Chain A
Amino acid sequence: MTRPASVLAGPKSRPPIHSQGDKTIEYAEKLLSVFILVPFAGSLIAIFFPSDQRGAISWFAGAIALVCFLVTAGLYPYVASGGVLHYRIDWVPELGLNFTLRMDGFAWLFSALITAIGVLVALYARYYMAEEDPVPRFFALFLAFMGSMLGVVLSGNLILLAVFWELTSIVSFLLIGYWHHNAHARDGARMALTITGTGGLAMFVGLIIIGKIVGSYELDAVLASGDAIRNHPLYGTVLVLVLLGALTKSAQFPFHFWLPHAMAAPTPVSAYLHSATMVKAGVFLLVRFWPVMAGTEAWFWIVGLAGLTTLLLGAYFAIFQQDLKGLLAYSTISHLGLITVLLSLGSPLAAVAAVFHIVNHATFKASLFMAAGIIDHESGTRDIRRLGGLFHFMPITATLAMVASAAMAGVPLLNGFLSKEMFFAEAIETHLVNPLDTVTPYVATIAGMFAVTYSLRFIHGVFFGRPPADLPRKPHEPPRWMRAPLDFLVLACLVVGIIPAQTIGPFLHTAVLSVLREGTPDYSLSVWHGWNIPLIMSFVALSGGIGLYFLMRSYLATAVEGPPVFRLLQGQRIFERVLVTLSWKWARWLEQRLGTRRLQPQMRLLVFLALAAGASPLLLGNFELPPLVIRGIDPAFALLWAIGIACAIGSAYQAKFHRLASLVLLGGAGLVTCITFVWLSAPDLAVTQLLVEIVTTVLILLGLRWLPKRIEEPVAAEDISIRVRLRRLRDLLLAIGAGGGMMLIAYTVMTRPLPETIASYFLERAYREGGGTNVVNVILVDFRGFDTLGEIAVLCIVALTVFALLLRFRPQSDSLEAPEQQKVQNAFDDDHPDRAAGDSVAEYLFIPAVIMRWMFPVTGMLAAFLFLRGHDLPGGGFAAGIAMSIGFILQYMSGGTRWVEERLRIHPLRWMSIGLLVATATGVGSWFFGYPFLTSHAQYASLPVVGKFPLASAILFDLGVFSLVLGATVLILIALAHQSVRAPRAHAKAARSDKEAVR
C-alpha cells in the first residue's frame, strides 16, 4: 500500500512535483524498499563468499553500497523542495505497527551520507583487512549495518525505528567485537552494546508513550502534533526516555566512555560507525524530534548541559590521548557534543548549523580515521609518542591528513570552519536567560581552542618532528586505491569549505526545509561574513590552541595515556563495578536466599506462588461461587469418577512409599481421564491422551530404574517432632488449596453461560476452508498451522535438550549395578551347566516377545490408519507419531537395545529433522502459489483398497508433524534406555582409568 507523496506547502517550496506524473512517484516510492532489501540480501550473500576472495567480496559490498547511493541520488528530485516519499506495508495494523519507509529531505541527506561513505569504506576495507581475517563475516556485518542504519533514517513508524535502532546496536556489537580473540575488542563491544542497548530500550518506551499521546505511531502524525506532545503531562518522562536513547547512542556525557573502548574495532568500522553513521543516529534522533520536542526549558537544560559538558570534556581528553584512534574518538565525542549543544538552543538557525555540522564532521572524521588506519597499517603502531616525521615517508597521505585535521580544528577555507563559525554565532546569541546560556560562548571558545590543540598534535606529532626510530615496519605510502577514499573525502572538505553555497547548499536546504518547514530561517553559506565576533572567537581559538600545544608539547611527548586527574576517574571502571554488583553480587545474594537444590522447597515455593497469583484476583474482585446444581447423574460415569479420584489420591499417597504402586494408580487416573474425554464428546483428546498415557508410563518406568533406593528409616510415630508435623500439615493444606482452587476455577468456567466464542467460527469454516471435518485437526494443521509449526519446533528443541542432558548423565553409584532380579536370574543360569547366560529371561519372555514382535506391523497399520483419517475423524500426525513410537518401544522391550539396533535402522534425529523440514517446506510451498505461509489446498484422492481419503496439502504438513513426533518420542525413550548399556560401560572405564592413575 502506498500513498501519494504529500508535499509540504512551505513559503519557500516550489510547485509540487506532480507534473512529473503520479506514475513516477509511485515508482520512486517503491524504490524505497531497495534501501532495506538490498543491503540485507547482500549481507546474506556475503556470508557465503569464500574467505580468500577479499577482492571479489569488497567489490560486491562496494557495488551494493553504490547501488543504494545511486538510488538515493535518483530520488533527490522527489524530496527537493519539501517532498516526502512513503512506502508502506501493513504489518500488524491493529497494533499500529506498519512497515513504513519515509524519505524526506533530512532522511535523504543521511541516506546519501551513509551510502556514499559506505562505498568509500568498502573500498578502503579491501586493502585494510589482513589475509588471515575472516573477510566474509566483516562484509556481511558491514552490509547488515548499512541496512539497519538506512532503516533508522528511513523509518516512518516509531516502532520500526526502534527495531532498526536496536539492530544497529546489535550489529555494531558484532563489528566492534570482530576480532573476538582480543579481550579489548570483546570488552569494548560488550560495553557498547550494554550502554546503547539500554538507552535504546528506554527510547523504545519513550516512543511508545509518544505513540499513545499522538494516537498513532506513524512519523507523519507525530511530527504534526508537536503542541500535543509538549503540553502533555507525560512530556517530561518522554523527554528523558527519548534523550536516554539519543545521548547513549551519540556517546554524550555521562555515557561517553563506551566510544573510546569501541576503538578496538577494525579501523574501517571506526571510520564508518564512529564518524558517519552509528554515533550520528543519536543526533539524527534529536533532529528528528526537534520540531516536536525542542524549545522547552527542560529540553534546553538536559540537552544543553549534556552537550556542553561533552563538548568541553571530549576536547580536553582528546589532547591527552596517545593512541591516534583514541584521540579521534574523543574528538568525535566533542564534536557530537557541539551538535547537541546546537540542537539544545531551540533556535532554527542553530538547527541549520547542527545539520550542516553533521555532514561536515562525517566527511573530515571519516577521512581522519582512514588516515589513522593507513598510518597504523604502514608503520605498525598508532602510538603518537612512537611516531614522528612520517611526512618524508608518506607525503601525500600526510598532506591529506593535515587538510582533514585542519577542517577538524576549524581552519578557514575548510568545511569545519563554516559550521563552527555558525556555532560561535549561535553561542553568543541569547536564547533563554539563564547561566547555562551565558557560559556557552566561553565554553565554545575554550573547546575550540582544545580542538586546535589536539588537531595540531595529530599533525605535528605524527608527521613532523624527529623521524621514528624503532617502528615495527618501515613506513611508506599505502596502495593507490587504499588512499582513494581519503582523496575523495578531503577534496569534499575543501570544495565545501571554499564554495559552500554552490555545492552543499541546495542539499542542506532540502534537509533543513524538511525539518523546520515553515520555520526555515534565512541563512547564508559563505566563507566571509565580515569582521564579527565569531571570527574573533575563531581567531582566539586558533592562536590559543597553537600556543597551548607548544606549551604542552614536552609533557605530552612522555606522558602516560589519558588526561591528568581525570585519568583516575574512569567511566569504564564505574561501569564494570555496576555490572559486577548487578549481575554477580546481587544475583548470588538472591540465589543464596531463595535458591535450593532440594526439590521439596522448590515445589512448595512454586505451588504457593501459583496459588497466590490465582487466588488474589478472585479475592480482590468479589468472586461469587456459582450455585452447585446436581442433576441427571449417570451412575456409571459417577462411579468412574469415583475410581479416578481414588486412583489420583492413592497415587499421591503412595508416591513416597511405593513407587510402582503409585505409577500403577497414576495409570488408572489417566485412563479415567481418557474415558471422561469420550463421555464429554472429545474423542480426539481421548485418542491423544491415551497414547500419551501409555508412553508416559514407559518413560517413568525407564526413569525409575535410575532413582536411588528409598532409605527406610523406621521412626516411631511419637518420635516425629512437632516441626515436622507442622510442615506436613502446611504442605497438605497447600496441596488441597491448589487442587481445590483449580477445581473451583474449572467449575466456575464450566457453569458460566458460554459467550460468543471462536468455536462457532472454526466449526463453520473447518470444512469449507480447510477441507476437513475433524475440526481439531483442521485447526492444528491449517488455521493454526503456524502455531503448530512453532509447537513442533519446541518439541524438537526439548527432545534435543533431553538427549544432550542424558549424554552427560552420571547415575548414582548404588543404581549402577544390574538390578537385583537380573543378578538372581543370571546367577541361576550360571549355576546350571545346561543353561546359557540369558536363558531365563528368554524363557520368561518367550510368548510375550513373539506377540510384541508380531504386533509391530499391526502398530504401523494403526499409525497409518490414525494418520490418514486424521483430517476428517479423530487421529492425525501427532497421534500417529506416538502410536508408531509405541511400536518401536515394544521391540526394544522384547529384545533389548542391542537386538533391535542390529535389525532396525533407528535414526530419531534424522526423522526429526526431516519432519521439521517437510512441515516448513509445506508452509513455504504455498508462497509459490501466491498464498500466505501455510495456506492449505484440499482435495480428496482415492486409492484401491484404502478407498477415498482426503489429500489436503495439510496432509504433507501433518506428515512432517508425524515424523517429528515419532523422532522426538523415540529419541527421548531410547536415550534413557541406552543408559543401561552406556552407564556401566562408562563406569567401568572410569574405574579402569582410576586404577591406572593409582598405579
Chain B
Amino acid sequence: MELAVVWSVLVAQTMLALAMAFALYRMARGPRAQDRILGLDTLYINAMLMLITFGIRTANTVYFETALIIAVIGFASSIALAKFLMRGEVIE
C-alpha cells in the first residue's frame, strides 16, 4: 500500500478517535440530557467512520457490515433515548 494512504488513514483514525473523545465529554458532562444523547449519536457516527477507515487500512471488506448496521439502524437507540426524554416512555 502506498505510504500516503497508510499515513492518511492513521491521521484520520486519530482524528476520529479525538472526535469520539469530545463526544464522550458531552456524554459525561451534559449539561442537559439532550446533550448527552446527541453525544452518543455523534459517537455512533464517528464509530461508523472509524470502522470504514479500518476497512481501508486492512484492505478488507468483511468489516463493512458493522458499519452498515450502524448506518441503517444505529439511530434506533438515539431515537429511543430521545423519545424517552420527550414522552417519558419509549413505546406508548
Contact = CB atoms under 8 A, between A and B. Distances in A.
A980 B92 contact: yes
Contact of B83 (A818, A825, A893): A893
B36 A660 contact: yes
A674 B37 CA distance: 19
Query: Chain A CB within 10 Å — which of B23, B69, B89 has the most?
Result: B69
A679 B74 CA distance: 19
A660 B17 contact: no
Nearest to A892: B91
A626 to B, nearest CB: 28
Contacts of B51: 675, 678
Contact of B80 (A697, A822, A873): A697
A687 B65 contact: yes
A886 interface: yes
Contacts of A678: 51, 54, 63, 66
A841 B84 CA distance: 12
Interface string B10-25: 1001101110110110
A642 B21 contact: yes
Q: How large is the interface on B (under 10, 10 to 19, 20 to 34, 35 or more residues)?
A: 35 or more
B21 A639 contact: yes
B81 A701 contact: yes
Interface stretch (A186-194, A455-463, A663-671, A783-791): A663-671
B29 to A, nearest CB: 9
A697 B74 CA distance: 11
A521 interface: no
A660 B84 CA distance: 9
A694 B73 contact: yes
A866 B20 CA distance: 28
A534 interface: no
Interface centre among A647, A678, A841, A873 (most CB of B within 10 A): A678
A254 to B, nearest CB: 63
Contact of B44 (A647, A671, A821, A893): A671
Interface string B26-40: 011010010011011
A617 interface: no
Contacts of B23: 668
A675 B79 contact: no
Interface string B55-92: 00000001101101110111011011111111111111
Given A661-B33, A678-B66, A859 B14 contact: no
B40 A668 contact: yes
B54 A646 contact: no
Given A660-B36, A661-B36, A862-B69, A848 B79 contact: yes
Contacts of A834: none
Contacts of B76: 694, 698, 886, 889-890, 893
A855 B72 contact: yes
Does more than half of chain B's interface fall in helix, strand or loop, or is it mixed? helix
A852 B83 CA distance: 13
Contacts of A132: none
Contacts of B20: 639-640, 643
Interface in A822-880: 822, 825, 841, 844-845, 848, 852, 855, 858-859, 862, 866, 873-875
A280 B39 CA distance: 76
Contacts of A977: 90-91
Contact of A893 (B65, B72, B91): B91
Interface in A859-913: 859, 862, 866, 873-875, 883, 886-887, 889-890, 892-893, 896-897
Nearest to B62: A683
A628 interface: no
Contact of B69 (A691, A841, A873): A691
A893 B39 contact: no
B84 to A, nearest CB: 5
A356 B36 CA distance: 87
Given A687-B69, A822-B88, A852 B79 contact: yes
With a 10 A CB-CB cut-off, give which of A637, A664, A678 has the most chain B CB atoms: A664
A908 B83 CA distance: 24
Contacts of A661: 27-28, 30, 33, 36
A647 B50 CA distance: 18
A636 B16 contact: yes
A987 to B, nearest CB: 16
A686 interface: yes
The interface centre, meaning the residue of B17, B62, B90 with most chain A CB atoms within 10 A of its CB, is B90
B24 A668 contact: yes
A679 B86 CA distance: 36
A124 to B, nearest CB: 63
B77 A694 contact: yes
Contacts of B69: 687, 690-691, 862, 883
B83 to A, nearest CB: 6
Contacts of A664: 27, 36-37, 39-40, 81
B10 A636 contact: yes
A874 B79 CA distance: 26
Contacts of A753: none
B68 to A, nearest CB: 7
A859 B72 contact: yes
A689 to B, nearest CB: 9
Nearest to A818: B88
Contacts of B39: 664
A766 to B, nearest CB: 15
A530 interface: no
Given A647-B24, A678-B51, A873-B62, A896 B91 contact: yes
A650 interface: yes
Nearest to A978: B91
Contacts of A693: 77
Indicate the member of B13, B14, B62, B66 with the most A CB atoms within 10 Å.
B66
Contact of A686 (B17, B66, B91, B92): B66
A640 B17 CA distance: 6
A705 B72 contact: no
Nearest to A859: B73
Contacts of A663: 81
B50 to A, nearest CB: 6
B88 A820 contact: yes
A841 B87 contact: yes
A804 interface: no
A283 to B, nearest CB: 66
A841 to B, nearest CB: 6
A635 B12 CA distance: 11
A702 interface: yes
Interface in A671-725: 671, 674-675, 678-679, 683, 686-687, 690-691, 693-694, 697-698, 701-702, 704-705
A890 B44 contact: no
B66 A639 contact: no
A621 B16 CA distance: 45
A650 B21 CA distance: 13
A933 B54 CA distance: 41
Nearest to B72: A862
Contacts of A822: 87-89, 92
B40 A705 contact: no
Nearest to A638: B17
A640 B43 CA distance: 11
22 contacts: A635-B10, A639-B14, A646-B28, A661-B27, A664-B36, A664-B37, A667-B77, A671-B43, A678-B51, A678-B63, A691-B73, A698-B77, A819-B87, A819-B88, A845-B83, A848-B79, A855-B73, A874-B66, A890-B76, A890-B79, A893-B76, A897-B91
Given A862-B69, A886-B73, A889-B91, 8 more contacts: A640-B20, A660-B33, A664-B36, A678-B51, A690-B66, A705-B88, A883-B69, A897-B91
Of all A-B residue pairs in the complex, the 3 with the closest CB atoms, nearest first, are A819-B88, A636-B13, A977-B91
